[in-house]
Structure 1
Amino acid sequence: MSVSGDRARRHTRYFLNWARAAAPVHLGADVDMTRIEEHRAAAREAGRRYSVVSYLLYAAGRIVARHPEARAMARGVLRPRTAALPDVAAKLALDRRTEGGERVVLTAVLPRMDVASLTEIQDLVDLCRESDPHDLPGAAAVRLLSQLPPPVGELVFRLGVRSPGARAQRLGTFAVSSLGHRVVDVFHSYGGTAVTFCAGRVADRAVVRGGRVVAAPVMSLGLTFDHRVLDGAAAADVLDGVVKRLEGWHGDLSGTRGEPRDGAGIRPARSGDRPGGPLGTSP
């Protein structure tokens, strides 16, 4: 790798070295994306495009807002404890190229994921994907890290994510990563947050509805959680809530907020392949 390429990835190395202190555990679930794909198709006919990532950001933001343990951070070594993070912001991983042509992972923190509409989220995603890498939020910090000598750069990175406020500002309160643009069904990554959502591709698969096998668009969704911050049962609740939000999607194209009709966050839907009841309902 060239010297410039090494510099372009220094921020990633600093993050990986820092992330070794975490205790990542991986969960996974299949998501029936029928309602999402219907909504996307209707939106395209109306002249609007929504990415799968935007639906995931929307659903995850609402669910993480309901689970304080999913937006916290581990602190301390001699006296381990957790600290709450302010707001609900998502760290979105982006595949971008530098001016020199090097392919690198950059990130952008998207605020207000608990209240932003689907259209607002899509606008933010488009802005991050289409803007110059130098204009991304946090780009100046990445450039600084690439210019500092490695020992100094790593220290600066660690100090920059030490406090809860700085952590939320630079790494978000939950993370989202997607490899759905390729033939990737399942993957797991750790984004430096209590929970990280990892989306694979949407592909037609066999599901059972009403005792019959039918084809449906299905996405494998992974969730990596930091076991220092929350336990498996709580993480499973978060993943379950996001899956139900996606499978029970309900929204019109005028508001496109996808708000469910009941207070539990799940709108009753058609019979599906989930044990215990119709698709999108609790057992």
Structure 2
Amino acid sequence: MSGGTRTVTERRRRHTLYFLEWAAGQRPVHLDTDVDMTRIQEHRAEARTRGLRFSVVSYLLYAAGRALDRHPRANAVMAAGRTGILRAPRIVRFPSVTAKLALDRPVGGERAVLSALVPDLERAGLREIQQQVDRYRGEQAAELPEFKGVKMLGRLPVALGRAAFAAALRDPRKRPGVFGTVSVSSLGHSAVDGFHSAGGTAVTLCAGRIAERAVVRDDRIVAAPVMRLGLTFDHRVIDGGTAADLLTDLHHTMEAFDDGSRAEIPGPHPRGADLDIGARRGLGQGTS
């Protein structure tokens, strides 16, 4: 060491580095839209009068579950075939929606990204989703049993850690219980208007902050709370048209939010499957 520099092996971030190496095979394409959050903000304010608190990310999870249920082609993953040198890729679709929610939490006194799984989003209620989000955002969240695997990856020698990470993702049918079927990340607590990331799933949703912006209503320009919503999709799994339909569905579902019934979105979309998976969606531990 010289000049005051030093090399540090950040064990708490090893799982993120293994994930980035694995996810380098994706072919990400980015879309975004502005969502008028007026109805959601009104719902949040009304809920507070009844002693309830809902975070913005819970509404996004709620909408994502229902939208992906209507667009099952996007609730999928690319899985390599097993034909030797000529590996034939397969698209594996899942019957239920499990979110991999990225969390910025302290681990051993240092900031780290943990990923929590929120299953069965296509039928989960807003209160149920919020309860799970609150559990993962608690002060002792890093000590939850779901994150034991992540912490173990940091303790293993690098070669063994990489091998363990790859083994956990080898069977695509087990992917929802390890990695989720859609990735969700939010930087809305900061001065970030919008961003994009690739979370290792076919679709990654990225929410920026809510800010007052000019919108047009009834031929008049008015101020409204607007959130930039980014969608990154893996072009190996779906095409731009499917991704655009999904983002449009999400946009309308959030702007017309109604926790009593599904927003009426043009559809339904046909359910097709290259390989349907009936894996159980239990709470698990993400790996990025």
Give 5+ residue unaligned stretches, structure 2.
1-5, 82-86, 268-288
Instruction: Give 1:97 deviation, angstroms.
Output: 0.6
- Equivalent AA in structure 1 for residue 223 of structure 2: A
The residue that corresponds to 1:268 in the other structure is none
Q: Does 1:61 align with 2:80?
A: no
1:122 aligns with 2:127: no
**1:262 & 1:104 partners in 2: Cα distance?**
39
Shift in CA distance, 237/261, structure 1 to aligned 2, threshold 3 Å = closer
Compare relative contact order (CA 8 Å, sep 6+) and give the higher one, 1 or 2: 2
Q: Is the contact made by 2:253 and 2:265 (CA closer than 8 Å) also made in structure 1?
A: no
**Alpha-carbon deviation of 1:131?**
5.2
Map 1:144-159 onto structure 2 (within 5 A).
144-159=152-167
Q: Determine whether 1:28 maps to 2:32.
A: yes
Q: Find the aligned partners of 1:127 and 1:133 in 2 and give their Cα distance.
A: 7
Contact 2:63 2:253 (C-alpha < 8 Å) held by counterparts: yes
Q: For residue 259 of structure 1, what is the aligned residue in structure 2?
A: 261
Which amino acid letter does the alignment assign opposite residue 47 of structure 1? G
The question of 1:189 aligning with 2:186 is answered no
Please give the residue correspondences for 1:121-270 in structure 2 after superposition, counting only pairs within 5 Å.
121-130=129-138, 132-136=140-144, 138-250=146-258, 257-260=259-262, 262=264, 264=266
% of aligned pairs identical? 54
CA separation of 1:2 and 1:109: change in aligned 2, threshold 3 A: farther
Residues 37 and 130 (structure 1 numbering): CA distance in 2 closer, same or farther, change over 3 Å?
Answer: same
The answer to whether the 8 A contact 2:192-2:208 is kept is yes
Task: For residue 241 of structure 1, report the CA deviation from its aligned partner.
Answer: 0.5
Contact residue 98 and residue 133 of structure 1 kept, 8 A: no
**Pair 1:124–1:242, CA change in 2 (3 A):** same
Shift of 1:261: 6.0
- In structure 1, the residue matched to 2:101 is 92
Instruction: Give the RMSD, CA atoms, in angstroms.
Output: 1.8
Question: Is 1:42 aligned to 2:46, yes or no?
Answer: yes
Any idea what the Cα deviations from partners look like across 1:151-196, whole Å, max 9, x if unmatched?
Answer: 1111110111121232111110101100000000010011111101
Q: Find the aligned partners of 2:220 and 2:192 in 1 and give their Cα distance.
A: 27
Work out the number of aligned pairs and report it. Answer: 258
* CA distances 1:64-121 after superposition (whole Å, capped 9, x unpaired): 112121111112272122112342110000000112x110000101111110100000
2:56: which partner in 1?
A: 52
Residues 212-256 of structure 1: per-residue CA shift (max 9 Å, x gap) = 100000000000000010000000111110110000112xxxxxx
Give yes or no for contact 2:207–2:229 (8 Å, CA) kept in 1. yes
Give 1:132's aligned amino acid: Q
- Paired position in structure 2 for 1:272: none
Mark the CA change 1:158 to 1:36 in structure 2 (over 3 Å): closer, same or farther: same
When structure 1 is superposed on structure 2, of 77-86 and 210-219 the one drifting more is: 77-86
Provide the C-alpha distance between the structure 2 equivalents of 1:208 and 1:50, rounded to a whole number of angstroms.
Answer: 27
Matched AA of 2:45: A
